[in-house]
Amino acid sequence: MAQACVLLKYGELMLKGRNRGKFERYLREAVSHALDGASAPVRVSQRPGVVVLSGEIAREELLERAQRVLGVSVVQPAVRTGRSAEDAAGAVLRALAERFGDPATAAPRRFAIRAHRRSKDFPLSSEKLAAYLGGRVVEEWGWPVDLGDPEVEITVEVDQREIFVSLERHRGQGGLPVGASGRALVMLSGGFDSPVAAYRAMRRGLRCDFVHFTGAPLTGPSSTYKAYALVRQLDRFQGGSRLHVIPIGNAQRALATSGAGHLQVVAQRRLMVRTADTLAGELGAQALVTGDSLGQVSSQTLANMATVEDAASRPLLRPLVAWDKNEIIDEARRIGTADVSTLPDEDCCSLLTPPRVATRTTPRQLEGVERRLEIDELVPKLLADVQVHVPGTA
């Protein structure tokens, strides 16, 4: 009995007591989302500290899907075999032959066996099992053992009912499974930053909803299409994402005609945050997330950040606050949002931008502008026009 499978491992060390049950429950949900639409059925089974995926499905597809799951630190293709040293030896030798061909002609490689027992009632200690398997490899392949700097590392894991053998391991996404930390509402524009901020928030266990403000009716639908495409990419990491689109063009014009002047940009941002904050309440989200990075543009000075966040009643999280633009763009490429972010759009923020943007605003100044506009009545009006999309399913 030998069967190909993929092991998903998570950092067990930080998981104690009740946290662990919660973590594993969210992880199971995340795994089943990552397997949605797979080309063949996949069996999922949970062992202590490990989730095992197996089925008649191409290895590449299973690996790609497994590598999307947030909360998984290592993705390890493996062969599952019977629970005896002899079965394990057979699996190790077959795996080596599959990878390196004929022992008579393959070039020698320094190797190490790493044996662990997740279940301690196995008759051999880990050291003895490793010594036995190492001996068999030396016999068959004539390779030198090198525990310090091996070229080939053979991992052997003894479980309750079986043994897993693997020759490789890949990095998983890391972080925490989506939902384990609660819910957040991401303020999503069309640029590079906010989709990366959303990914980092999800990776810390926040299930995310999205809100995008458009300049409609003063601008066309291009920014909505971008937001839609971005949420589709981000949905691969969580499933069930909702995108809320809210037109604020008329409100922006009202701010401009009421004389916001060089406070226009910060006033717009406060209006967005205030509206998003109310929407977050309706959605049960405990925090807002933005792609702000300190000092990146004039609206992102420390003073302006403070003025903007003053308009929110819940925490405003900025996962990228200390990131450089090139770091953000690299991450956008890695998570698959960069291509969408580079598309042109009509961004509502560049609409009605004054020639000089105030960099040292205070909430008091902004409250003055907002009083002229009766901002409290404006928010429910904006929310009445919200359109909800579910981009992941289309």
Binding interface with ligand ATP (CB under 6 A): 187-189, 191-194, 211-213, 272, 290-292, 296-297, 299-300, 348-349
Q: Of the two residues 173 and 290, which places its CB atom closer to Mg ion in the complex?
A: 290
- Shortest distance (Å) from residue 190 CB to Mg ion: 6
Q: What are the structure tokens assigned to 363, written together?
A: 């909430």
- Shortest distance (Å) from residue 214 CB to ligand ATP: 7
292 φ/ψ angles, rounded to the nearest 5 degrees: -60, 145
DSSP 29-71: HHHHHHTTT-SS--EEEEETTEEEEESSS-HHHHHHHHTT-TT
**Which residue carries 């702000």 as its tokens?**
292
Q: Of the two residues 238 and 275, which places its CB atom closer to ligand ATP in the complex?
A: 275
x-marked contacts with Mg ion along 174-203 as a string, rule CB under 5 A: ---------------x-x------------
State how far the Cα of 170 lies from the Cα of 61, in Å rounded to an integer: 14
- Shortest distance (Å) from residue 4 CB to Mg ion: 45
- Shortest distance (Å) from residue 289 CB to ligand ATP: 7
Q: Which ranges of 190-263 does DSSP label H, i.e. alpha helix? A: 193-203, 222-235, 249-257
Q: 188 contacts which partner out of Mg ion, ligand ATP, none, CB within 5 to 8 A by kind? A: ligand ATP
Helix (H, G, I), strand (E, B) or coil at 324: coil
- Shortest distance (Å) from residue 69 CB to ligand ATP: 25
Q: Of the two residues 197 and 202, which places its CB atom closer to Mg ion in the complex?
A: 197
- Shortest distance (Å) from residue 132 CB to ligand ATP: 56
- Shortest distance (Å) from residue 81 CB to ligand ATP: 49
State the number of CA atoms in the 13 A half-sphere of 296 facing the CB.
18
Distances in whole angstroms, Cα of residue 212 to Cα of each of 69, 77, 321, 393: 25, 39, 20, 19
The secondary element (H helix, E strand) that includes residue 164 is: strand 163-166
Q: Write down how long the chain is.
A: 394
Q: 81 contacts which partner out of ligand ATP, Mg ion, none, CB within 5 to 8 A by kind? A: none
State how far the Cα of 72 lies from the Cα of 287, in Å rounded to an integer: 24
Q: Give the interface size with Mg ion as a residue count (CB under 5 A).
A: 2
361 is a site residue for Mg ion (CB under 5 A): no
Q: Of the two residues 179 and 191, which places its CB atom closer to Mg ion in the complex?
A: 191
Q: 290 contacts which partner out of Mg ion, ligand ATP, none, CB within 5 to 8 A by kind? A: ligand ATP
In single-letter form, the type of residue at position 187 comes to: M
24 φ/ψ angles, rounded to the nearest 5 degrees: -70, -35
Q: Of the two residues 69 and 349, which places its CB atom closer to Mg ion in the complex?
A: 349
- Shortest distance (Å) from residue 265 CB to ligand ATP: 8
Q: Of the two residues 63 and 329, which places its CB atom closer to ligand ATP in the complex?
A: 329
Q: Of the two residues 297 and 379, which places its CB atom closer to ligand ATP in the complex?
A: 297
Q: Of the two residues 10 and 192, which places its CB atom closer to ligand ATP in the complex?
A: 192
- Shortest distance (Å) from residue 282 CB to Mg ion: 25
State how far the Cα of 70 lies from the Cα of 137, in Å rounded to an integer: 36
Angle between helices 302-309 and 363-373 (to 10 degrees): 50
Helix (H, G, I), strand (E, B) or coil at 87: helix
State how far the Cα of 358 lies from the Cα of 334, in Å rounded to an integer: 35
- Shortest distance (Å) from residue 377 CB to ligand ATP: 21
Name the residue number minimizing CB distance to ligand ATP.
191
Angle between helices 264-283 and 249-257 (to 10 degrees): 140
State how far the Cα of 347 lies from the Cα of 349, in Å rounded to an integer: 5
Beta carbons of 215 and 346 less than 8 angstroms apart: yes
Q: Of the two residues 189 and 238, which places its CB atom closer to Mg ion in the complex?
A: 189
State how far the Cα of 289 lies from the Cα of 167, in Å rounded to an integer: 40
Q: 283 contacts which partner out of Mg ion, ligand ATP, none, CB within 5 to 8 A by kind? A: none
Q: 194 contacts which partner out of Mg ion, ligand ATP, none, CB within 5 to 8 A by kind? A: ligand ATP
Q: What are the structure tokens assigned to 376, written together?
A: 């409290």
Q: 84 contacts which partner out of ligand ATP, Mg ion, none, CB within 5 to 8 A by kind? A: none
Q: Of the two residues 7 and 243, which places its CB atom closer to ligand ATP in the complex?
A: 243
Residues that bind Mg ion (CB under 5 A): 189, 191
